[in-house]
């Protein structure tokens, strides 16, 4: 593609993006978006990079863009699925080492973003000590910020999260001297929700996944019970703002009945 054609296409996308933004109803913008960034490795291989880490680094850069898009239209909470507990067990050790470095850099950069609040969701005990420290420091540095709330799902598994929530409930109940019979009567979905890693936050209104894959992959299993889903064909690093704005437009057009 020559430079003139590329420039012309870029102008058309900007004009189209501007039109999509003007059409957005602020009241219909999702409060919480969960993003599953997928396709980084395929992107790197298709472009002939020597290492898939180039794809992960490009995906991390795209996530910073994505957060900016969310902030601009008034989204209040974004959850990014960056590294699952399954990834830690099953991925090549070199790839995991590169991912850990990239995620640490991303967390550090996001914690320097004016007004944004960063929270780690996942298990710190299964992460390398240095990454756990960086995530903890990012949380502490931003804990009083009131702008865009960014959840970084690292060392995360949805089933493990539910198990940890139940363990926390059992431990609290035991410490208070309550019986299992009492707990059985008192246990509610709301109680479990309060003990999840995202306790106190609204559930995601919209879950987006890139690369054409259509599965949850153990991400926010409990929280996404009533979420809307939107699947994008673009690989993670190729996601464009117009793809994002189309997802928001599609969400706004849906009739969310919540079982009614």
Under 8 Å CB-to-CB from 190, ≥6 apart: which residues? none
Question: What pLDDT was estimated at residue 4?
Answer: 64
Query: Is there a domain that residue 139 lies in?
Result: yes
Under 8 Å CB-to-CB from 16, ≥6 apart: which residues? 242
Question: What pLDDT was estimated at residue 126?
Answer: 96
Question: What is d(CA 174, CA 253) in angstroms, rounded to the nearest whole number?
Answer: 47
Confirm whether 87 is a catalytic residue: yes
Query: Is there a domain that residue 169 lies in?
Result: no
Question: In the β-sheet with 149-156, what is the strand arrangement from edge to edge?
Answer: 117-121, 149-156, 77-84, 32-36, 206-209, 228-231
Active-site entry in 40, 54, 87, 203: 87
Question: What pLDDT was estimated at residue 2?
Answer: 60
Under 8 Å CB-to-CB from 129, ≥6 apart: which residues? none
Give per-residue pLDDT as tens, 71-103. Answer: 999 999 999 999 999 999 988 899 999 999 999
Question: What pLDDT was estimated at residue 260?
Answer: 66
Question: What is d(CA 137, CA 139) in angstroms, rounded to the nearest whole number?
Answer: 5
Confirm whether 38 is a catalytic residue: yes
Question: What pLDDT was estimated at residue 94?
Answer: 93
Active-site entry in 2, 18, 25, 38: 38
Residues of the chain with pLDDT below 70 are: 1-10, 259-260
The fraction of the chain above a pLDDT of 70, given in percent, is 95
Range of the domain at 211: 28-157+203-249
Query: Is there a domain that residue 232 lies in?
Result: yes
Does an H or E element contain 209, and which?
strand 206-209
Query: Is there a domain that residue 48 lies in?
Result: yes
Question: What pLDDT was estimated at residue 7?
Answer: 63
3-class state of residue 191 by DSSP: helix
**What is the total count of domains within the chain?**
1
Furthest-apart CA atoms within the chain: distance in Å: 74
pTM for the full predicted model: 0.92
CATH code at position 137: 3.40.1180.10
């Amino acid at each position: 593609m020559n430079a003139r054609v590329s420039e012309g296409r870029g102008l058309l996308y900007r004009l189209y993006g501007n039109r999509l933004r003007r059409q957005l109803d602020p009241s219909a913008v999702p409060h919480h978006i969960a993003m599953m960034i997928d396709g980084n490795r395929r992107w790197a291989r298709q472009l002939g990079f020597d290492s898939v880490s180039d794809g992960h680094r490009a995906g991390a850069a795209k996530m910073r863009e994505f957060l900016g898009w969310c902030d601009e239209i008034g989204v209040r909470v974004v959850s990014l699925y960056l590294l699952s507990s399954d990834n830690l067990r099953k991925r090549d050790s070199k790839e995991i080492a590169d991912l850990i470095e990239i995620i640490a850099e991303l967390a550090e950069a996001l914690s320097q973003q004016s007004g944004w609040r960063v929270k780690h969701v996942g298990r710190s005990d299964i992460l390398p000590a240095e990454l756990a420290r960086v995530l903890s420091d990012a949380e502490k540095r931003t804990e009083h910020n009131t702008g865009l709330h960014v959840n970084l799902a690292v060392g995360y598994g949805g089933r493990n999260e539910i198990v940890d929530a139940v363990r926390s409930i059992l431990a609290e109940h035991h410490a208070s001297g309550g019986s299992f019979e009492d707990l059985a009567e008192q246990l509610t979905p709301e109680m479990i929700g309060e003990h999840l890693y995202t306790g106190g936050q609204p559930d995601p209104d919209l879950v987006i996944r890139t690369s054409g894959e259509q599965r949850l992959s153990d991400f926010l299993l409990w929280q996404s019970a009533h979420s809307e889903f939107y699947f994008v064909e673009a690989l993670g690093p190729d996601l464009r703002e117009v793809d994002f704005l189309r997802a928001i437009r599609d969400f706004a057009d849906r009739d969310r009945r919540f079982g009614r």
